[in-house]
A and B are shown apart, each in its own frame.
Chain A
Amino acid sequence: MQYDLVVIGGGPAGLAAALEAYQNGVKSVLILERDKELGGILNQCIHNGFGLHYFKEQLTGPEYAGRFIRELSGLGIEVKLDTMVLDVSNQKEIHAINTADGYFTIQAKAIILAMGCRERTRGAISIPGERPAGVFTAGAAQRYCNMEGYLVGKRVVILGSGDIGLIMARRMTLEGAKVLACVELMPYSNGLNRNIVQCLNDYNIPLYLAHTIVDIRGEERVKSVTVAKVDEKRAPVPGTEFDIECDTILLSVGLIPENELSKSAGVPLDRRTSGPEVFDNMETDVEGVFACGNVVHVHDLVDFVTAESQKAGRSAAKYIQNGEFGRNDCISVKNGSAVNYTVPQKIRPAGVEKQVEIFFRVNNVYKNMAIRVTSGEQQIARFKREHMAPGEMERILIPKMLLDKVTGQELTVSVIPE
Chain B
Amino acid sequence: MYDVAVIGAGIIGSAVARELSKYHVKAAVIERENDVAAGSTKANSAILHAGYDPACGTKMAKHNVRGSKLAKELCRRLSVPYKQIGSLVLAFDDADMETVRKLYDRGVQNGVEGMKILTLKEVLDKEPNINSDIKGALWAPSCAIVNPWEYAIALAENAHDNGVDFYLDHRVTGIEKRDGAFVIRTVKEPIEAKYVINAAGVYADKINNMVGGNEFTITANKGSYFLLDKSQGNLVHTVVFQCPSRAGKGVLVSPTVHGNLIVGPDAVDVDDREDRGTPKASLDYVREMSQRSCPSISFRDNIRNFAGLRAQSSEESDFLIEESRVCPGFINLSVIKSPGLTSAPSIAEEAVEILEGMGLELIQKEQFIADRQKVVFKELSVEEKEKIVKENPLYGRIICRCETVTEGEIVDALKSPLCPPSLDAVKRRAGSGMGRCQGGFCGPRVAEIISREKGVPMMEILQDRTGSNILVAQTKTEGGSL
- Chain A residues engaging chain B, CB cutoff 8 angstroms: 34, 82, 84, 86, 97-103, 118-119, 121-124, 126, 128-134, 136-137, 139-140, 143-145, 147-154, 173-178, 214-217, 219-221, 247-248
Q: Report the minimum CB–CB distance from B431 to chain A (whole Å).
A: 15
Chain A hits for B439, CB < 8 A: 140
Chain A hits for B280, CB < 8 A: 128, 214-215
Instruction: Decide yes or no: A99 and B274 within 8 Å by CB, A86-B404, A143-B444, A150-B459 being known contacts.
Output: no
Cross-chain contact A149 with B468 (CB below 8 angstroms) = no
Chain A hits for B448, CB < 8 A: 148
Q: Report the minimum CB–CB distance from B183 to chain A (whole Å).
A: 29
Cross-chain contact B274 with A84 (CB below 8 angstroms) = no
Cross-chain contact A220 with B465 (CB below 8 angstroms) = yes
Stretch of B190-198, B315-323, B389-397, B410-418 at the chain-chain interface:
B389-397
Instruction: Decide yes or no: A174 and B302 within 8 Å by CB, A118-B441, A123-B438 being known contacts.
Output: no
Those 8 A-B pairs whose CB atoms lie nearest each other, nearest first = A133-B463, A220-B467, A133-B468, A84-B398, A123-B304, A99-B393, A130-B277, A99-B396
- The CA-CA distance from A376 to B302 in the complex, in Å, is 39
Stretch of B75-83, B89-97, B99-107, B470-478 at the chain-chain interface:
B470-478
Chain B hits for A129, CB < 8 A: 277-279
- The CA-CA distance from A141 to B475 in the complex, in Å, is 12
> Contact check: which of B277, B462, B480 meets A133 at CB < 8 Å?
B462
> Contact check: which of B278, B397, B472, B474 meets A99 at CB < 8 Å?
B397
Cβ of B130 < 8 Å from any Cβ of A? no
Q: Report the minimum CB–CB distance from A411 to chain B (whole Å).
A: 29
Chain A hits for B291, CB < 8 A: none
Chain A hits for B396, CB < 8 A: 97-103
Cross-chain contact A128 with B278 (CB below 8 angstroms) = yes
Q: Report the minimum CB–CB distance from B379 to chain A (whole Å).
A: 13
A86, A102, A152 — which one has the most chain B CB atoms within 10 A of its CB?
A102
- The CA-CA distance from A100 to B390 in the complex, in Å, is 9
Chain A hits for B390, CB < 8 A: 102
Chain A hits for B54, CB < 8 A: none
Chain B hits for A216, CB < 8 A: 277
Cross-chain contact A128 with B283 (CB below 8 angstroms) = yes
Number of chain B residues whose Cβ lies closer than 8 Å to a Cβ of chain A: 61
Cβ of B269 < 8 Å from any Cβ of A? no
- The CA-CA distance from A29 to B283 in the complex, in Å, is 50
Q: Report the minimum CB–CB distance from A280 to chain B (whole Å).
A: 29
Chain A hits for B458, CB < 8 A: 148, 150
- The CA-CA distance from A178 to B473 in the complex, in Å, is 13
Cβ of B385 < 8 Å from any Cβ of A? yes
- The CA-CA distance from A173 to B468 in the complex, in Å, is 22
Cross-chain contact A220 with B473 (CB below 8 angstroms) = no
Cβ of B401 < 8 Å from any Cβ of A? yes
Q: Report the minimum CB–CB distance from B233 to chain A (whole Å).
A: 14
- The CA-CA distance from A148 to B394 in the complex, in Å, is 21
Instruction: Decide yes or no: A99 and B389 within 8 Å by CB, A123-B302, A123-B303, A219-B274 being known contacts.
Output: yes
Cβ of B440 < 8 Å from any Cβ of A? yes
- The CA-CA distance from A121 to B434 in the complex, in Å, is 12
- The CA-CA distance from A123 to B440 in the complex, in Å, is 12
Chain A hits for B404, CB < 8 A: 86
Q: Report the minimum CB–CB distance from A41 to chain B (whole Å).
A: 11
Chain A residue nearest to B383 in the complex (CB): A103
Q: Report the minimum CB–CB distance from A200 to chain B (whole Å).
A: 15
Chain B hits for A247, CB < 8 A: 472
Instruction: Decide yes or no: A122 and B389 within 8 Å by CB, A99-B394, A103-B396 being known contacts.
Output: no
- The CA-CA distance from A263 to B137 in the complex, in Å, is 35
- The CA-CA distance from A176 to B477 in the complex, in Å, is 9
Chain B hits for A152, CB < 8 A: 470-472
Chain B hits for A34, CB < 8 A: 398, 401
Chain A hits for B459, CB < 8 A: 150
- The CA-CA distance from A131 to B303 in the complex, in Å, is 13
Cβ of B479 < 8 Å from any Cβ of A? yes
Instruction: Beyond the given A99-B394, A130-B275, please list 19 additional residue pairs across the A-B interface where CB-CB is below 8 A.
Output: A86-B398, A100-B396, A101-B396, A102-B386, A102-B393, A119-B440, A123-B302, A123-B304, A123-B438, A131-B306, A139-B440, A150-B474, A150-B475, A151-B475, A152-B472, A219-B467, A220-B463, A220-B467, A248-B472
Cβ of B227 < 8 Å from any Cβ of A? yes
Chain B hits for A145, CB < 8 A: 475
- The CA-CA distance from A215 to B467 in the complex, in Å, is 21
Chain A hits for B475, CB < 8 A: 145, 149-151, 175-176
Cross-chain contact B471 with A124 (CB below 8 angstroms) = no
Q: List 9 A-B contacts (CB under 8 A).
A: A82-B397, A97-B389, A100-B393, A102-B393, A133-B463, A133-B468, A149-B474, A151-B471, A176-B478
Instruction: Decide yes or no: A124 and B465 within 8 Å by CB, A133-B470, A152-B471 being known contacts.
Output: no
Cross-chain contact A122 with B466 (CB below 8 angstroms) = no
- The CA-CA distance from A147 to B459 in the complex, in Å, is 15
Cross-chain contact B462 with A130 (CB below 8 angstroms) = no
> Contact check: which of A102, A121, A147 meets B389 at CB < 8 Å?
A102
Cross-chain contact A175 with B476 (CB below 8 angstroms) = yes
Cross-chain contact A140 with B444 (CB below 8 angstroms) = yes
Cross-chain contact A176 with B480 (CB below 8 angstroms) = yes
Q: Report the minimum CB–CB distance from A156 to chain B (whole Å).
A: 10
Cross-chain contact B480 with A118 (CB below 8 angstroms) = no
- The CA-CA distance from A100 to B395 in the complex, in Å, is 11
Cross-chain contact A217 with B471 (CB below 8 angstroms) = no
Chain B hits for A131, CB < 8 A: 276-277, 306
Chain A hits for B129, CB < 8 A: none
- The CA-CA distance from A143 to B458 in the complex, in Å, is 14
Cross-chain contact B480 with A173 (CB below 8 angstroms) = yes
Cross-chain contact B444 with A121 (CB below 8 angstroms) = no
Q: Report the minimum CB–CB distance from A223 to chain B (whole Å).
A: 12
Chain A hits for B474, CB < 8 A: 149-151
- The CA-CA distance from A56 to B472 in the complex, in Å, is 39
Cross-chain contact B277 with A217 (CB below 8 angstroms) = yes
> Contact check: which of B389, B437, B471 meets A103 at CB < 8 Å?
B389
Chain B hits for A130, CB < 8 A: 275-277
Cross-chain contact B469 with A118 (CB below 8 angstroms) = no
Cross-chain contact A98 with B397 (CB below 8 angstroms) = yes
Cross-chain contact A132 with B468 (CB below 8 angstroms) = yes
Chain B residue nearest to A139 in the complex (CB): B440
Q: Report the minimum CB–CB distance from B202 to chain A (whole Å).
A: 15
Chain A hits for B363, CB < 8 A: none
Q: Report the minimum CB–CB distance from A389 to chain B (whole Å).
A: 24
Cross-chain contact B394 with A128 (CB below 8 angstroms) = no
Cβ of B481 < 8 Å from any Cβ of A? yes
Q: Report the minimum CB–CB distance from A45 to chain B (whole Å).
A: 15
- The CA-CA distance from A215 to B277 in the complex, in Å, is 9
B227, B278, B386 — which one has the most chain A CB atoms within 10 A of its CB?
B278
Cross-chain contact A176 with B468 (CB below 8 angstroms) = no
Cross-chain contact B466 with A118 (CB below 8 angstroms) = no
Q: Report the minimum CB–CB distance from A324 to chain B (whole Å).
A: 30
Cβ of B185 < 8 Å from any Cβ of A? no
Q: Report the minimum CB–CB distance from A394 to chain B (whole Å).
A: 26
Chain B hits for A154, CB < 8 A: 472-473, 481
Chain B residue nearest to A131 in the complex (CB): B306
Chain B residue nearest to A129 in the complex (CB): B277
A82, A123, A143 — which one has the most chain B CB atoms within 10 A of its CB?
A123
Cross-chain contact A84 with B472 (CB below 8 angstroms) = no
Q: Report the minimum CB–CB distance from A221 to chain B (whole Å).
A: 6
Instruction: Decide yes or no: A176 and B444 within 8 Å by CB, A128-B278, A221-B467 being known contacts.
Output: no
- The CA-CA distance from A145 to B277 in the complex, in Å, is 28
Chain B residue nearest to A102 in the complex (CB): B389
Cross-chain contact B473 with A151 (CB below 8 angstroms) = yes
Cβ of B443 < 8 Å from any Cβ of A? yes
Cross-chain contact B397 with A137 (CB below 8 angstroms) = no
